[in-house]
Amino acid sequence: MSTLTTTPGPAAGDQPAAPAAAAANRPVDRANPTRAVLMLEDGRSFVGDAYGAIGETFGEAVFCTGMTGYQETLSDPSFHGQIVIMTAPHIGNTGVNDADYESDRIQVAGFVVRDPARRPSNWRSRGSLDDELAAAGVVGISGIDTRALTRHLRERGAMRCGISSVLADGSAADGLPATDLDAGGSAESAAGSAESAAGSAESATGSAAGADGGADGSRPDDGGERAALAALLDRVRSSPEMVGADLAPIVSTKEPYVVPAATGTAQFKVAALDLGIKRATPAAMAALGCEVHVLPARTTGEELLALEPDGVFLSNGPGDPATADYAVEALRTVLRADVPVFGICFGHQLLARALGFETYKLTYGHRGVNQPVGDVATGRIAVTSQNHGFAVSAPLTGVTDTPFGRAVASHIGLNDEVVEGLECLDVPAFSVQFHPEAAPGPHDAAHLFERFRDLMAAARQARAAVAGGES
């Protein structure tokens, strides 16, 4: 039997494996769907139908609360190495199109949905989402209780995960019943908790996912199926963790390229450090008259300054910001040169580290298009698009002295009081944890690109004034 399997997971300390290679994929037979199992590293498991490609994949299980924008989510490089669970029950309604990709490919390690739409309806659609996933070699699972899974991750935190629609010997996983397997109760599973006990309301046992099989409440026997699941759990636990993962260079451009100003003649030149940049971001700056030079993640500070940019932009990206010392050092070189800096998401975390603040991993992160953020200076509230699992450890109030002068928290997350923005008071630099370009999501924060433009204009005027005074 021809199967698809992702590249074997690297040893602990290495980087999360990329999604399976598209060349070896085998799409799901919709008339006779293959069973699949999702296994969390704490032993909780869910059984449903294979979705996308048949095979096996590993990554960090995270949930995304956006009801729309699944194509932008799938192609966001910040999701590299992660298995994304969509909390909205119906996914795939509008199919896929060429305009909504935020990078050159699907970036997620795996995809989890409750009820996939099989007949897309949209004037831009060129095909179904599940066919697109299969063509990209992305292993997924459908028909499980994503609400129960999301609540489990919310309470216990994001964790390593595996999706498999093949057993250890490479045969199809069709022998698995449509049940939540952890309720069977191995010593390694979460069956001992009230949440995952047999008969729990949150178990997939009683969900619609299990309505088409295992109706007698049967569990896998203690033989082959249990052994296969135990082996899958071992593979999940041996897969790399997100803490300590240096992923930005993996998703970054390998060669510089230029996005020309959309206004004709460029008014400003921006050097954008690509740590996992989305297409909408340079497009937003180009719309304001910026010529954007997109550069590889490991570009040095000297190389950034050699472009003589009006400003330096730090993009979003995947992985642990504590591993990106190369970008932090480049940023410090730029700050010492007094060149305006704007960072978003991962770039926000790097600015924080350049200023001397630490970063830490959130329990389950912020991922979705409905995250409320408060502007400390104005009191204005913006609903923002976010995608991050790490955050900045900095005082919420007051002024902090840093190696580059004074800094304050400019934005605060209203759900959990996470630092969502930083502003430097003595050098021209600021950052936000969210995505002002949206894609997907609301455009409440789009004005921040205008603020960056104005900061570059002010710096140019200041340089001109100094030059005039010296002449």
Catalytic positions: 345, 435, 437
Beta-carbon count within 10 A of 463 CB: 12
Q: Which alpha helices (H) appear in 61-207, and where do they start and end?
A: 70-74, 129-135, 146-156
Q: What is the distance between the alpha carbons of residues 24 and 57, in angstroms, rounded to a whole number?
A: 14
Phi-psi group of 454: left, alpha or beta (phi > 0 → left; psi -120 to 50 → alpha; rest → beta): alpha
Q: What is the identity of the amino acid at 134?
A: A
Q: What is the identity of the amino acid at 99?
A: A
Structure token pair of residue 31:
């008339």
Largest CA distance in the chain: 89
Q: Helices 325-336 & 346-355, crossing angle to 10 degrees?
A: 70
What string of H, E and C letters represents the secondary structure of 253-298? CCCCEEECCCCCCCCEEEEEECCCCCCHHHHHHHCCCEEEEEECCC
Q: Identify the CA nearest to 15 among candidates 323, 252, 349, 346.
A: 323
Q: What is the distance between the alpha carbons of residues 78 and 29, in angstroms, rounded to a whole number?
A: 30
Q: What is the distance between the alpha carbons of residues 343 and 451, in angstroms, rounded to a whole number?
A: 12
Q: What is the distance between the alpha carbons of residues 38 and 213, in angstroms, rounded to a whole number?
A: 17
Q: What is the distance between the alpha carbons of residues 248 and 15, in angstroms, rounded to a whole number?
A: 11
Structure token pair of residue 320:
């642990």
Cis before residue 440, ω within 30 degrees of 0?
yes
Q: Indicate the DSSP class of residue 7.
A: P
What residue ranges in 296-351 does DSSP mark as E strands? 311-314, 341-344
The residues near 465 (Cβ < 8 Å, ≥ 6 apart) are none
Question: 205-227: b or e for each residue (b if 16 or more CB lie within 10 Å)?
Answer: bbbebbeebbeeeebbeeeebee
Structure token pair of residue 72:
């932008």
